[in-house]
Each structure stands twice: as C-alpha cells, then as structure tokens.
Structure 1
Amino acid sequence: MEPCSRVRVAKCQMLATSLFVLLLGSAMAATAALSYFGPHFTVIGPVSADRTTYEALHHWAFSAGIALAALLTLGAMLSAAATVRGAGGLMAAAFLSFALVFCALVQAAFWRAHSPTQMEDAVLDAYDRAYERALRSASGSGRQELVAIQDTFLCCGKSSPLGLLGGLEADLCQGEEAARQDCLRGIQSFLRVHGNIVSTLIGLGLAFTVYAMLLSSFIWFTIRLGRYPVSQRARDHPPQEPRVYRCIREGSPSPRPSKADAPGGRLSPSRRSGQLLLLQDTHPPTHGSGEATVSTRM
C-alpha cells in the first residue's frame, strides 16, 4: 500500500473512531447522570448508616463520569477537526485528551477489580438499617423510608433463613407487596446490572482510547513530515502556473512564434497578453538584399 493510501485509510479510521468515541462519551454522561439523579440511588442516601462516606462516594462517581465524558467528547471533536483540516496542533491536543482519559479509565478499572462490591455493600447496609428502624420504631417515619425503598426497587422485606417471619415482619409485606421478590436479591440484581454496564463502558473506553492514540500519533507524524495529502479537489484541480515556469521546470524550451504570427520579429500586440515576448534572432543582410537596398535609395 502506498503512503498516500495509508494516510487516507488512517483518516477514514480516525473519523469513524471519533464518532464512536463521541457516542461513548454520551453514554458515560448518561450513566453518570442516572447514577446521581436516579431514584434507586437517591432513595438510599437519607437512610445510609455512614451518610458522609456514601455521599462522598456518590459524588465522586458522578464527577468522574462527567469528567471522562467531557474529555472523550473534546478528544473526538479535536481529532475530527484535525483530520479534516490537517492541523498538527489540534491532533496533539486530541492525543493529550485521549491519554488523560486512558489514565483515568485505568484507575477506574483498577478500582472495579479491587473493590467490585463496595457500592453494593453500602446500599445493602443502608437497606438493613432502614429495615431494622422500621421494625423497632413506633413512629411512621422509619416505615415510610422503608416503603419508599421497596417501592423503588419493586421488592418487599427480607426472607428469613428459617423461612418463618415474625408478626412485625409479616405486617410489612401485605397484599400485592407480599408477591414481590426479596429486597436483598432485588437490590443485588439491580446493582450488578448497573455494575456490568459501567464495566462495559470502561472496557470500550480503554479500547477506543488506545486505538485513537495510535491513529492520532500516526497522523500527527505524517503532518510533521509533510506527507499529509491534500484534498481530492486540490489534487484534481491543481493551481495553474505560468507557462514559462512550467517550461523551465520540465526542461523543454518555450515554443517560438512563427513568422506568420510574429511579423517583423516581434509578437503582435494582440498576442502579447498571456504569452512570453520573444525576439527572433536578427541575421546580417545578404549581399542581394544590400544591393536592393542601395538601388531603392538611389
């Protein structure tokens, strides 16, 4: 494959990768917003045992997701603009954005591998606290919090290890609510689905950022080396050069005008525009022409 063909293929791949990175950034922003403003997570905050730690973790996850989405969107826009315009500075900025996203995603992947159930444990502890408060509290505030959690996750109560429930526990799930699934299983299933989505986004982000960094570095080097091809229109319609410059560059002499076109050794005034003025070589008059001239004078 010729170098120009390689660059064209790299340009097409860079544009396609920028589009996928832009979609990935939008998906990350939507996931972060759902994790922060979604009802499944906001209902847990007020009943969390360690509310300060849970809110800090919740806020950190939202900030990290929005920052990653912003960097991915910025890198996609910069890489697309640099690919179309052939700008080395924009391509270097896009490479830097992708590198920052890669480093952040590596940290997020390490956190997911090291503490995969940290968020799940925090939510389950919050539900256990709300459940115990509803059983022990004589007021209706504790029960209202528990009912709000159960209605959000579409679950009810906890199953007893012995299969028997006390009177107060049986009163919490009556009628249609008794047919719902166990809240511990319901919360675990929801959080695992959410965690799988986050892990998938992290894996796709790592793959796309690595590929985008390779493409952006290759295109940046082609721009720096001056091998970046011009547009198709410029190749099909190159700028016109003066005729004399083309003749000199090609090494062929410029055409000399004929006697019919240039009487008297000079080009006619109507032919001077757009062409090179040429003077024919003057030859000494022959003997016959000299006698004719003397006879004419006499």
Structure 2
Amino acid sequence: MLNPCWIRATKCQLLITSLFSMVLGFGVSIAAVLTCYSPHFTLIRNVIQAGNTFRMFQDITFYSGICLSLALISVGFVCFFAAGKESKYLLAVGFVCFAVLFCGMIQVGYWRYSHDEQVENVVKDIYDFLYEDVRQNTSSTMKWELHKIHAMFSCCGKKNSSVQLGRVEMETCSSEIWETGEDCLHVTDRIIKKHIKLISVLLLCITGFSVYGMVLTSFLYFLTRLRAEGNYGLTSDAL
C-alpha cells in the first residue's frame, strides 16, 4: 500500500506545477508581445520590400505564442482544481492537455532547429535590400528607412564594404554612430539570436513541465480509480 505522505506530496507537486504552468503562460504572452511590438522588430517589419517574409514569421510567432499562452493558463487551472478535488475526469483532461503540449513542443523544437538561421537570414536580406537600394539610387524614402535602422540598432552600414560605398554610411549615420557603430549585419544577427534564445528557453521549460505534468496527473488518476474501485483507501482525512 502506498504511503499517504507520497500522495500528499504528489498533489502538492501538481499544484505547484499548475501554478508554474500559469506563470509560463504569462511569460509566453509577454514574449509574443515583445516579438510583435518591440521597436526593433516593428521597424524591420515595416520596411517596404516585396516578399518581406519577416512579417510572416512575426505573425506566426505572435499568434502561436498567444494560443500557447492560453493553453498553458487553461491547463494550469484544470490541474489546480483536479488536484484539489481529486477529480479523475479533470486529471484525465489535464493529462491529455499536457500530452498535446508536449507533442506541440516537439514539433516546434524540430522546426526551430531545422530552420536555425532562416529568421536571421531574412533580417539580413532586408537590411541588404535597403543598403543596396540607397547605394544604387537616391530614394529619400529608403534612405530614411536605413537611417532609422542605424539609429535604432546603434549600428552603421557594413564595415566590410569597400571604400567606394562609404557614401551610404555618411548619409544615413549620425556622427557618433559613424565613429563607434558596429556592423549592422552583426548587430541585427546578435539581437535576433538573443530573442530566439529567450524563446528556446521558454520552450524547453514548457516541454519539461509537460512531461512532469503527465507523470503527476497519470499517477493521481490511477490512484483515484483504485479508490473508486475500493482497492485503495484514499480519504481526505489522510491527505
């Protein structure tokens, strides 16, 4: 017969897991909002370019993040009440939700590592498009877009470019940025990778909590079944 202390400990762990699930849900929603409304990303999104696929990545990340956030908060509430009421139906629902989250995280993780540099390359392509357009033309619109990127990212042009292309940097960078600014390709790449790293950490946390949640909900579910069948006495007094 199982020690009632183990049952109490498992219920407490499920309660804590449900609370952390809700906290993760809020964290994911904040990351999704930052992805959509961060000044850096908004500036890249609004660049006028045919086939600006960064908008697609941004929209997918935002709506997926909001849906994932709602799912985490919902499963947190379900497991919280399931542990409190020892409801086998709520425990079954919680297990299914954690299993769906786990499968979703596996798919997202696969996409993340199979498209490791795709987002970074899209941002670099957008910057290259603006840079080359300003270099070859004198469009005031594109020049202003490039100037805003240099000011926002505190970078200045492509330092590896030839001397003949220095006119672009001189016309679109302030004097301070011109002297101390980094290569824009390196800066944008660093900012994108930092944001993706934050998202990857959140996804790893969600995956771990999903597995842990499945273990806890399945364990308590079978205990409630045993109690209902009279094979194991699990009373509220013992808990």
Distance in 1 of aligned mates of 2:113 and 2:40: 23
Q: Deviations over 1:17-38 (max 9, x none)?
A: 1122211111111111111121
Q: Deviations over 1:93-139 (max 9, x none)?
A: 11121111111111110011111111111111111111122223323
The number of aligned residues is: 234
Q: Where is the helix percentage greater, Structure 1 or Structure 2?
A: 2
Contact 1:48–1:54 (CA under 8 A) maintained in structure 2: no
Aligned residue type for 2:158? K
Structure 1 residues 168 and 32: CA distance shift in structure 2, 3 A: closer
> Rg: which structure is higher?
1
Match of 1:102?
102
Match of 1:287?
none
Match of 2:185?
184
Match of 2:117?
117
Distance in 2 of aligned mates of 1:84 and 1:143: 61
Contact 1:48–1:129 (CA under 8 A) maintained in structure 2: no
Match of 1:229?
234
Match of 1:159?
159
Contact 2:156–2:183 (CA under 8 A) maintained in structure 1: yes
Contact 1:25–1:73 (CA under 8 A) maintained in structure 2: yes
Contact 2:131–2:146 (CA under 8 A) maintained in structure 1: yes
Distance in 2 of aligned mates of 1:130 and 1:165: 13
Match of 1:143?
143
Distance in 2 of aligned mates of 1:40 and 1:91: 43
Aligned residue type for 2:235? V
Q: Deviations over 1:1-23 (max 9, x none)?
A: 84322211110111111122211
CA displacement at 1:192 relative to structure 2: 1.0
Distance in 2 of aligned mates of 1:49 and 1:141: 12
Q: How does 1:1-298 map to 2 (within 5 A)?
A: 2-47=2-47, 49-51=49-51, 53-161=53-161, 165-178=165-178, 179-226=180-227, 227=232, 229-232=234-237
CA displacement at 1:49 relative to structure 2: 4.2
Structure 1 residues 48 and 224: CA distance shift in structure 2, 3 A: farther
Point out where structure 2 has 5 or more consecutive residues left out of the alignment: none
CA displacement at 1:187 relative to structure 2: 0.5
Question: Share of identical aligned residues, percent?
Answer: 32
Distance in 1 of aligned mates of 2:177 and 2:196: 27
Aligned residue type for 1:107? Q
Q: Deviations over 1:227-261 (max 9, x none)?
A: 473334xx69xxxxxxxxxxxxxxxxxxxxxxxxx
Instruction: Name the structure, 1 or 2, with higher relative contact order (CA <8 Å, separation 6+).
Output: 2
Distance in 2 of aligned mates of 1:177 and 1:66: 37
RMSD between aligned alpha carbons?
2.1
Distance in 1 of aligned mates of 2:139 and 2:130: 13
Point out where structure 1 has 5 or more consecutive residues left out of the alignment: 237-298
**SS of equivalent to 1:47:** coil
Structure 1 residues 173 and 56: CA distance shift in structure 2, 3 A: closer
Contact 2:82–2:90 (CA under 8 A) maintained in structure 1: yes
Distance in 2 of aligned mates of 1:103 and 1:214: 15
Q: TM-score, normalised by structure 2?
A: 0.89
Distance in 2 of aligned mates of 1:158 and 1:150: 11
